[in-house]
Amino acid sequence: MSKDYKQMWSDLEINLDAHDGLLGVLSDAYTNIYLSQKNRPEGMKYFDFVISEVHGLRIEEIVEAKKQGRKVIGTFCVYVPEELILAVEGVCIGLCAGADVGTDEAEKYIPRNTCALIKAFMGFKLAGLCPYVQTADLIVGETTCDGKKKAYELFDEMMNGKVYVMEIPNKKGQDDKALWLNEVQRFSAKLEKISGKKITPEKLKEASKVVNEKRKALQRLASLRSADPSPISGLDALLVNQVAFYDDPLRFTAKVNELCDELTERLKTGKGVSAKGSPRILISGSPMAIPNWKIHAIVEGSGATIVGEESCVGERNFASLMDENFSSLNEGLQNIADRYLTINCACFTPNDERLTDIETIAKRVKADGILHYAIQFCTPYMIEATKVRKVAEKRKIPFLRIETDYSMEDMGQLKTRIEAFLEMMGKGARV
Ligand code: BJ8
């Protein structure tokens, strides 16, 4: 941290002692996992800085934005339209927590066999550890999986009524599309009410451009990883995708594009993070919220490179753009509704489009193997893994299925399984 932020944290009612402990653990993990990597692009220095200031400078910026009358909107799902939040000059923060924190406290409210992501967002609040949650004027939940849906009821009580829930349909038929459009309209009215600002077609266009440019930068990064050797590690690419959820969008986009310029230069000289021909893995499944780096650290520590994430912290977040051609607010809201329904989350049934996405991405990134990752007790992704396996078998792509939580207890066991998978995978199975 560049300075002492204790007063700011204290004003936000952060538990200072526990928070010091959390930052210490985070800093050690980052040093061991990230800073120990060899051959990192220079452009990652910005993201190292952002992480070092994750609860410092960025929170200071948000507090300052609040003083200027901007509203802070926390979200837990890539289905929440960022464009609308920006159209009322709000600050959009993706809140999903990826650390095993406050679990004991969370388990007083929700069953032990709840996914780690849900336990973490409740745990962070209960343990007084998340300054982002503390700055939020509104927290947007969604009716995706049952665990989240029910947890938001309890979370709303903890947040003194600040939780607003969007209804996400479970199917994608005509009635579902109408329901979803109505939800987008309802959310835009809610944002206008809490911000006191009107969403005009012009403001929505401006906001759509900002978010689309961010998506394009992330698409560019994803496509550069198709090279052999990849010019960037999976760990670093994951970090960029995680930072996408809370950094200032304009600054973030500029920094990702700078990084991509450097990676493009690397490709010209054939410089990469691993030797040409090293095993290439596509990750598919539940989202990996910051600071969940567990699987990437094991896979890359075992000599393979992760070249893509079919995940909401990855491709599902940036794969499709919003159509910026609209002339009325109604048309703009329709375009938002259409764009977001292209996200193929396992909470939908059927969800065969996700299988097509996995095949397409595996081909594009020249994956040698697919590792399906589900957070333990994440029923939608755990069950859908069976269909993903069938796709991998059909394409003769080696497949490994892993279910784990945020604890480090199974690191040894996972490493053994992943190493055996890489060994079995060998070469020559590339799609
Ligand atoms: S669009 S994946 S961000 S819902 S890991 S809480 S599903 S039990 S996070 Fe998600 Fe939106 Fe879908 Fe993406 Fe439930 Fe699974 Fe836990 Fe999950």
Q: What is the pLDDT of residues 104-116, one digit of tens each?
A: 999 999 999 999 9
Q: How far apart are the first and last CA of the chain?
A: 44
Question: 144 CA distance to ligand 1 centroid (A)?
Answer: 7
CA neighbours closer than 13 Å in the CB half-sphere of residue 149: 10
Lowest mean pLDDT segment, chosen from 119-133, 223-237, 282-296, 417-431 = 417-431
Residue 218, token pair as written in the block: 């992330």
Question: 312 CA distance to ligand 1 centroid (A)?
Answer: 8
Pocket test for ligand 1, best of 241, 375, 388 (most atoms within 8 A of CB): 375
Task: Show Cβ contacts of residue 165 under 8 Å, excluding neighbours closer than 6 positions.
Answer: 140, 141, 142, 143, 149, 152
How does pLDDT run across 327-358, given as a tens digit for each residue? 999 999 999 999 999 999 999 999 999 999 99
CA dist., res. 291 & res. 34, Å (int): 11
How does pLDDT run across 49-69, given as a tens digit for each residue? 999 999 999 999 999 999 999
The protein residue whose alpha carbon is closest to atom 11 in ligand 1 is: 77
Question: What's the pLDDT at 429?
Answer: 43
The protein residue whose alpha carbon is closest to atom 7 in ligand 1 is: 145
Task: Show Cβ contacts of residue 144 under 8 Å, excluding neighbours closer than 6 positions.
Answer: 77, 79, 168, 345, 347
How does pLDDT run across 78-88, given as a tens digit for each residue? 999 999 999 99
CA dist., res. 422 & res. 431, Å (int): 16
CA dist., res. 153 & res. 311, Å (int): 26
Identity of residue 311: S
Q: Which atom of ligand 1 is nearest to the CA of 145?
A: 14
Contact 96, 76 (CB under 8 A): yes
Task: Show Cβ contacts of residue 274 under 8 Å, excluding neighbours closer than 6 positions.
Answer: 229, 230, 233, 303, 305
Checking if the pLDDT of 152 tops 70, the result is yes
Question: What's the pLDDT at 430?
Answer: 42
How does pLDDT run across 38-52, given as a tens digit for each residue? 999 999 999 999 999
How does pLDDT run across 285-335, given as a tens digit for each residue? 999 999 999 999 999 999 999 999 999 999 999 999 999 999 999 999 999
DSSP string, 146-193: HHHHHHHHHHHHHTTT-EEEEPPPSS-SHHHHHHHHHHHHHHHHHHHH
CA dist., res. 72 & res. 65, Å (int): 8
Question: 250 CA distance to ligand 1 centroid (A)?
Answer: 26
Checking if the pLDDT of 178 tops 80, the result is yes
Residue 327, token pair as written in the block: 């002339």
Checking if the pLDDT of 161 tops 60, the result is yes
CA dist., res. 321 & res. 318, Å (int): 7
How does pLDDT run across 192-211, given as a tens digit for each residue? 999 999 999 999 999 999 99
Checking if the pLDDT of 431 tops 60, the result is no
Q: Which atom of ligand 1 is nearest to the CA of 146?
A: 14
Contact 156, 136 (CB under 8 A): no
